[in-house]
Amino acid sequence: MKIYTKKGDKGETQLIGKRVSKTNERVEAYGTVDELNSFIGIVITYLEQEKFNDIRNDLLKIQHELFDLGGDLANVSLNHDWALKEEYVDYLEKRIDVYWNEAPPLNSFILPGGSKGAAYLHVCRTVTRRAERLVVQINDEFNLPSVGIKYLNRLSDYFFAVARAVNTRCNHQDINYKRNK
């Protein structure tokens, strides 16, 4: 079987239930979720297995959940049951609390960076926010289940908390933002 089908050569792709332009808002949203998933793959390569086994396991779980979300976004049927579940949001909240408590208290805004893993986690955070905005845009028209937006909102918080925990474990201090005058 060949990887290329030539079906998209005219700028269209197939959603579940409808053929659309590759500029369609759903294609943009699940493409951004896929981009996020790729950045998570990069993060995993920067996190040493023993020191970050808990985070690596979380990230692998999140990668699977993002595939679920991508499939949900690609399905134009208004009646389909979403693969993404509310329990995923609950899990993220528990993990956020664990990682947030691991880092020192935060007294100001911080700049993205520190260790390579933490820097890429901040990239994941910002790509997640873009995906969230795109899903909200789709929701404005199609009234999607709320779990997608909640999941992405919590996921960006997760990446922020984990980036700080990674820096803490690597003995990298967060860089406080200093306002230019």
Task: Tell me the CATH number at 44.
Answer: 1.20.1200.10
Q: Is there a domain that residue 11 lies in?
A: no
Q: Quick check: 101 pLDDT over 80? A: yes
Domain that holds residue 158: 25-176
First to last CA, the chain: 61
Residue 101 DSSP SS3: helix
Q: Would you give the DSSP letter of residue 16?
A: B
Residue type, 76: V
Q: Is the pLDDT of residue 1 over 90?
A: no
13 inside domain? no
- Residue 14 binned pLDDT confidence (cut-offs 50, 70, 90): confident
Burial class of 85 by CB neighbour count within 10 A (0 to 12, 13 to 18, 19+): middle
Mean pLDDT confidence for 34-63 = 97
pLDDT (tens digit per residue) in 45-54: 999 989 999 9
Decide if 133 is inside a domain. Answer: yes
Mean pLDDT computed over every residue of the chain = 93
* Residue 71: per-residue pLDDT: 94
pLDDT in tens, 112-164: 999 999 999 999 999 999 999 999 999 998 888 899 999 999 999 999 999 99
